[in-house]
Amino acid sequence: MKKLLHPVTVTVITLIFLFSLPFFIKQKNVTTWSDKKLRQSALNGSYRAIPKDYRGLLELLDTPDNRLTKEKIALGKMLFFENMLSYDKSINCSSCHLLNSGGDDNLPTAIGYNAQENPFHLNSPTVLNSALQKYQFWDARAKSVEEQAAGPVQASFEMHMKPKDVESRLNANSNYKELFKNIFNKDKIEFIDVQKAIGAYERTLLTYSPYDSFLDGNNSALNSSAKRGMTIFLSKGCAGCHSGITVGGQQIQHFPVRRYLIDYIGVLINPKLSIKDNPFPFDNIGGFLGKNNEQNFKVPMLREIAKTAPYFHNGSVKELKEAVRVMSKYQLGNEFSKRDIEDVVSFLKSLSGEIVEY
Ligand code: HEC
Ligand code: HEC
């Protein structure tokens, strides 16, 4: 008996007991909140419904830097679809941001001028609702859609144009000359006004979804699986990062937050890799490491997410349920059960809607 209670034996038994605890303690099952509690929790937090009328849009998105007018929005729409903004006049913004299929291209990475792939293998995000984000781009380097619009026009692998060439092409076109003159009251078209007109149009590209309808008071807009998924999303920590009216787009966060022994083992098995070479729980195609190369990324918005596969900055993950599993494990340290993942996916599907006609 004395031998059995040797301190080493006791320590070993205690350790085995402690490590096996997680297998015995069943994860507490999440029960769906009542409609009232679900709606109130969302609205008490940072979540809001998309406005359905022009006045609501103006309250949210009109800015002294770029006053919205119907004429400016219409001009921006023409420019969004204008091939003249690309070097060989072959592509426009909508080539990579297709408005009727989620506002992106559904490719792992964007293909631009001269069939070039994005050099960092970056996935095209959606333009829908993007004007409501605090940051634009995967590394959050632009603050507004107007600032953002200067990027793709000039990138050699996207539209490959110089601002002065955009200006001379448009100034040679009498229709554009007259439209710009009426709106911006300048004798010559300037690149900054091209950015402003496109930004004005993007500010109207908002989608109203079943989730918005639920926030607006319609209890039957979400099915029971989506309501349980929304309960999980709000109560288990997803909401801490994917916050605000866009359900994301408002913060910069590290990814992945956690690593597991299994990741290191996987790397040991593959001699070509190290955690530093492959810092993600998926292929590090493109080598992009976010803001300041520190694995800090703009938290993506989740509106329209079910329509914008594949997922993550380099489009490495094909299915939404796998993206949710990766998030629960690596961002929350709490890998969700199959049922929880399914319900969160149902909730995320409810974030897809139709572009509002303002
Ligand atoms: C060749 C494909 C391609 C073209 C053409 C293109 N984009 Fe993009 N767009 C992308 C990619 C890829 C990103 C992400 C780049 C990054 O984060 O560095 C992006 C990012 C954006 C974003 C930021 C969204 C977010 O959530 O961060 C907006 C807004 C946007 N584009 C609008 C436009 C506009 C306006 C045009 C036309 C002037 C345009 N794009 C042309 C591929 C394209
Ligand atoms: C600590 C902050 C944080 C938490 C918590 C978090 N996320 Fe994320 N999420 C991010 C970041 C950052 C990315 C972008 C990572 C990348 O692409 O490299 C992301 C990406 C995603 C994507 C892919 C988006 C796209 O456009 O490809 C989905 C889907 C997603 N998160 C859902 C969730 C869900 C569901 C939860 C809760 C289980 C959650 N996230 C928890 C920060 C977070």
Q: What is the pLDDT of residues 101-121, one digit of tens each?
A: 999 999 999 999 999 999 999
Q: Which of the four pLDDT bands, split at 50, 70 and 90, describes residue 342?
A: very high
Ligand 1 atom, smallest distance to 157 CA: 1
Q: How confident is the model at residue 261 (pLDDT cuts 50, 70, 90)?
A: confident
CA of 123 from ligand 1 middle (Å) equals 9
How far lies 239's CA from each of 8, 45, 231, 321, 334, in Å?
45, 9, 10, 17, 15
Cα 301 from Cα 3, distance rounded (Å) = 61
Cβ–ligand 2 contact at 206 (below 6 Å): no
pLDDT band at 1 (very low <50, low <70, confident <90, very high): low
Q: What is the pLDDT of residue 272?
A: 66
Return the number of other C-beta atoms located less than 10 Å from residue 87's C-beta: 18
CB 323 within 8 A of CB 130: no
Torsion of the alpha carbons at 347, 350, 352 and 353, rounded to the nearest 10: -160
Q: Are 122 and 110 in contact (CB under 8 A)?
A: yes
- Which residue, 103, 107, 159, is CA-closest to 131? 103
Is 60 exceeded by the pLDDT of residue 58?
yes
Which ligand number lies closest to the CA of residue 103?
Answer: 1
Cβ–ligand 2 distance for 288 under 6 Å, the answer no
Distance between Cα 46 and ligand 2 center (Å): 17
Mention every residue, 6+ apart, whose C-beta is less than 8 A from residue 300: 125, 138, 242, 248, 249
The first and second tokens of residue 198, run together, are 């496109």
* Over residues 155-169, mean pLDDT: 97
Closest CA to 160 of 213, 102, 248, 83: 83
If you measure from the C-alpha of residue 300 to the centroid of ligand 2, how many angstroms do you get, rounded to a whole number?
7
Residue-level pLDDT at 10: 73
State mean pLDDT over 197-205: 98
Calpha distance 150→142 (Å, rounded): 10
